[in-house]
Structure 1
Amino acid sequence: MVSRTLLKAVQDLPHRSLLAWRTIEVTEAGRAGQAERALGLFEAMPVKNQVAWNAALAALVDGGRTDWALSFFRKMPRRNATSYTTMIGGLSRAGGAAAARARVLFEELPLDQHNVFTWTAMVSCHARNGEPGKAVELFVALYGEFFARGMLPNAHTLSSLLKACVGIRSLAMALQLHAVIIKLVGEGARYCFVWNALIDAHAKLGVLSDAEKVFYGMQYRDVCSWNIMMDGYSRHKLVDSALHLFRMARKKDAFTWNIIISCLGENHLGEGALRLFIDLVRLDGQCSVNAKLNASIYTTVLHVCSVLVLLPFGRQVHGRVIKDGIGQSNVSVSNSLLSMYSSCGAMLDLEQVFEEMTVRDIISWNSVIQGLGQNGLGKQALAVAERALELKMYNGNTFIAILTSCSHAGLVPEGLGYFDGMTEKHGLELTLDHYISVIDLLGRAGRLEEAYDLLRKMPFAPNAVAWHTLLHSCLAHKNSVVGSIAAQELRALQPNSSRGDYERLVQGCGCSSMADETLDGNEKSADHTPGCSWLT
């Protein structure tokens, strides 16, 4: 903030200098997030030039007052390329339908008044808002005309385009941009972010060797460079290479540790991941260490605990979360705690974490319903489900969790009631996964003919998961008729599987006499697992 002493010192400045000083005040207030104060200072200016108008607009944008900024933008007596760049950037950060409004503004400015900054702002807006194809199309459409005017893309343009290349999975364009970057972009610390984006694009598009060439050829690398290359190795399951880079990195931040812990966890090396977490805990608080334990690291470690079913370790992590003041208000960490306690069968802990959460999302409710249901507490799961439905905190996966809970608890009438009310009462569209859940519900209860009838009449083509679900129920209840039909359908859907498992299942259903007729020796049963993701 500008001090009063300085304000007094410039009271006698010439008119132009005073105007510049007032504009600086507006800019500083905007950067401090004080949009109202910035606009008040602007309104108090006796004379306003284009720079002052743009500074006030930027203050509103920086303060996140997008709608106010757009209204102010429309009232400006004159707008130039800087005005449009600022407004497009603000709409870009607003997300949603704002990206389309930004494109309208971009098209509104005559082409001969555009510069590299308006061009870059619009390309970045498309890339940032899940429209990578439009970002590339815009760049290609204007490149020739802008090039003829001597207007070349800058480092920020190219960085946004590399992100768009990943979005549209275009390795060909990434390689072309690589050549452009070599010609136009320097290699100093100032442009490190562009080379980092290039490493990321090559790694995500499957050309890890090119990512390595860029990384090891860089004259200057920051901590992001190391993190992105390490993440590339992790994506390609090159654990040893990722570990080597981790050990070689002189500077490590929270992302560095999170990447390597995730890498080990995702590659079935959970114990190694937890050892690294312990190392980080021991380092936490040291002045020489930049990495701090954060929500992302805790989420990753709790997931590893869930996979390994390490309840004691998970409880220690929970204690550390509470100590750091992260848990109750951080929905991501709290959801990870719910998942961990659910996997470990600790239902009292699960319920306590849920009740203590100050912020809950739909995943939170789904996690509790699923956890209670899978651990044999079907009626408690339904009680939580009723709360979720009353609060409108549900989606299609909520009902998969509900139906699964009913299935495990044998609550057939209740499950069918929820299934029947999904569309009319709750406005949700039935999916194949919902039908499979009801087939499992009926099959576990021994109502195999009803399950088979539902499978035949559902508005989806039955997949292997649906037939497996029915077949396993037939095995449990020794129904030879429906079991042999399910086996035949599985053979048709999976002709390249082995014979043994299907034949064993059919024989277990009491229909061994039909086994040779229904199986040709090329089938294998898959595990009986739900064909859906409950929490996402």
Structure 2
Amino acid sequence: MASRTVVKAVQDLPGCSRLVWTTIEITKAGRAGQAERALDLFEAMPVKNQVAWNAALAALVDAGRTDWALSFFREMPRRNATSYTSMIGGLSRAGGAAAALARGLFEELPLDQHNVFTLTAMVSCHVRNGEPDKAVELFVTLYGEFFARGMLPNAHTFSSLLKACAGIRSLSVALQLHALIVKLVCEGNRHCFVWNALIDVHAKLGTLSDAEKVFYGMRCRDICSWNIMMYGYSRHKLVDRALDLFRMTRKKDAFTWNIIISCLGENHLGEGALRLFIDLVRLDSHCSRDAKLNASIYTTVLHVCSVMVLLAFGRQVHARTIKDGIGQSNVSVCNSLLSMYSSCGAILDLERVFKEMTVRDIISWNSVIQGLGQNGLGRQALAVAQRALELKMYNGNTFIAILTSCSHAGLVTEGLSYFDCMTEKHGVEPTLDHYISVIDLLGRAGRLEEAYGLLRKMPFAPNAVAWSTLLHSCLAHKNSVMGSIAAQELRALQPDGSRENYERLVQGCGGCSMADEILVGNEKSANHTPGCSWLT
């Protein structure tokens, strides 16, 4: 009924005004997700020009009705570059095989009818769908032809191409694009995002000095500029520079705080990270609109609590998440809570969080299985694992968690049973990590011959972790013969391992004379440190 009223009102307008007004209303309907209303308005138009057809197509695309838009596109009496740009953009967001279909449409349009918008749409489509190499290849192939026609790339083209360079890790292409940007893109607030993309690609590709030159040479910077440069310092572990930039940033947003807190946490400065978090909480309490606590910040801080085993502080953060209304509904925050309580050995809290979660993903189930298992509750871990398998909430990491739980609890029969049925019953192909988990399972139980046999027969070349796992089991069970074999293999894979490290391991197996034979000429420093746990 409402649609008929709108159509009647449109029909009462003069011809030219009616056409313009309807086209505008079609666009509004599409942006509001009202595809049906947009098409009703379009169908009611007595005269439909190319602008109206393109507006209706864009409305379907904006409403997310990609299949409908594609059918409409094929029915259009005429199509121009704008039509193709809209359709390529819609297919770009659809994902999957739609990217290949978009490329087909791009090549369907004659080259002399293309413009910078069709090129940008196709480059962006490739980048969005994980095909950065194709984006760069397309640009390189067509640039000469388009340049001869005076069709130059714009700021959005360059922004997508710089992301592609980061994806394929091509510094040479990034440097050439940098030169083009300097020539073709004027500085200013409108194009700030291009210079931000330059900072980002230089930082990611290791040319931090070039990133700094771009940043400090910008006449106009926005908050993203500061955040990207700070993140570049963080990636390169330049904590002092990141902190200096943080202090210089006048208008900090949630990303600013999250970057610096993560930077400190990842560089073993957890106490400093938590101090900054406390400062942010105080700012948030004073209603700072720019720096509000969000799920990403909570996730970062909970990870710091997990690493530092700060149960009391973690509980306070948990309380704050509940106060902010994300303590049960946000799956990332809940998964971080599970990890934190697991690391701190707070099993009751772990189970309570899991029980109260309104949404669970595979990571949630894996975290609980792993948490129960590493805290010695193997049977409970397997009970949760069985539920996860029944609900089809599992992946390869689920079986790593199961096997680890069985290993810690001495449940050898159960662990081997899960390993044997991985492929046939659950469709998960065992990886090297799964085999190493079983080697650890057998080795901890003293079944060293079986562990060694599995290591030799597995369809992967044994790596240092596999031999080290067997060697530590030999150390625990005083098996000097097999221990010396494992030590020799490990030394071959890690020739820079220290004499002291191998000597301690081999002599621990009771093979003092063997240690001398294995360690001849080996005097370099060690890179390998045996695994350990905060909890016993």
TM-score, with length taken from structure 2: 0.95
1:528 aligns with 2:530: yes
- The whole-number CA distance in structure 2 between the counterparts of 1:246 and 1:275 is 14
Paired residues of 1:502 and 1:525 also in contact (CA < 8 A): no
Going from structure 1 to structure 2, the CA distance change for 1:511 and 1:375 (only over 3 Å counts) comes to same
Q: For residue 428 of structure 1, give the secondary structure of its aligned residue in structure 2.
A: coil
Aligned to 1:302: 302
Aligned to 2:336: 336
Alpha-carbon distance, 1:120 to partner: 0.5
- The whole-number CA distance in structure 1 between the counterparts of 2:9 and 2:412 is 81
Paired residues of 1:500 and 1:521 also in contact (CA < 8 A): no
1:231-252 deviations in Å (ceiling 9; x for gaps): 1111111111111111111111
Alpha-carbon distance, 1:209 to partner: 1.1
- The whole-number CA distance in structure 1 between the counterparts of 2:45 and 2:492 is 79
Paired residues of 1:27 and 1:58 also in contact (CA < 8 A): yes
1:109-508 correspondence to structure 2 within 5 Å: 109-284=109-284, 286-508=286-508
1:283-341 deviations in Å (ceiling 9; x for gaps): 11545541211111111111111111111111111111111111322111111111111
- The whole-number CA distance in structure 1 between the counterparts of 2:113 and 2:407 is 65
Paired residues of 2:88 and 2:121 also in contact (CA < 8 A): yes
Q: Which amino acid counterpart does residue 180 of structure 2 have in structure 1? A: V
Alpha-carbon distance, 1:489 to partner: 1.1
1:246-283 deviations in Å (ceiling 9; x for gaps): 11111111111111111111111111111111111111
Q: Which amino acid counterpart does residue 225 of structure 1 have in structure 2? A: S
- The whole-number CA distance in structure 2 between the counterparts of 1:518 and 1:420 is 36
Paired residues of 2:61 and 2:87 also in contact (CA < 8 A): yes
Alpha-carbon distance, 1:89 to partner: 0.8
1:500-519 correspondence to structure 2 within 5 Å: 500-519=500-519
Q: Which amino acid counterpart does residue 442 of structure 2 have in structure 1? A: L
Long gaps (5+) in structure 2? none
1:408-428 deviations in Å (ceiling 9; x for gaps): 000000000001111111111
Alpha-carbon distance, 1:391 to partner: 1.0
- The whole-number CA distance in structure 2 between the counterparts of 1:313 and 1:3 is 57
1:129-178 deviations in Å (ceiling 9; x for gaps): 11111000000110111111110001100111111111111111111111
Aligned to 2:50: 50
Which stretch shows the higher mean deviation, 11-20 or 182-191? 11-20
Going from structure 1 to structure 2, the CA distance change for 1:45 and 1:239 (only over 3 Å counts) comes to same
Alpha-carbon distance, 1:11 to partner: 5.9
Q: Which amino acid counterpart does residue 180 of structure 1 have in structure 2? A: L
- The whole-number CA distance in structure 1 between the counterparts of 2:269 and 2:357 is 31
Going from structure 1 to structure 2, the CA distance change for 1:347 and 1:458 (only over 3 Å counts) comes to same
Going from structure 1 to structure 2, the CA distance change for 1:246 and 1:104 (only over 3 Å counts) comes to same
Paired residues of 2:7 and 2:41 also in contact (CA < 8 A): no
Q: Which amino acid counterpart does residue 222 of structure 2 have in structure 1? A: D
Alpha-carbon distance, 1:47 to partner: 2.3
Alpha-carbon distance, 1:60 to partner: 1.6
Identity of aligned residues (%): 86
Aligned to 2:93: 93
Paired residues of 1:116 and 1:151 also in contact (CA < 8 A): yes
Alpha-carbon distance, 1:360 to partner: 1.3
Q: Which amino acid counterpart does residue 40 of structure 2 have in structure 1? A: G
In the alignment of these two chains, the number of paired residues is 529
- The whole-number CA distance in structure 1 between the counterparts of 2:241 and 2:385 is 46
Q: Which amino acid counterpart does residue 351 of structure 2 have in structure 1? A: E
TM-score, with length taken from structure 1: 0.95
Long gaps (5+) in structure 1? 531-536
Alpha-carbon distance, 1:12 to partner: 4.9
Going from structure 1 to structure 2, the CA distance change for 1:528 and 1:437 (only over 3 Å counts) comes to farther
Aligned to 1:534: none
Q: For residue 359 of structure 2, give the secondary structure of its aligned residue in structure 1.
A: coil
1:74-119 deviations in Å (ceiling 9; x for gaps): 2222211111101111111122222111111111111111111000
- The whole-number CA distance in structure 1 between the counterparts of 2:318 and 2:89 is 40
RMSD: 2.0
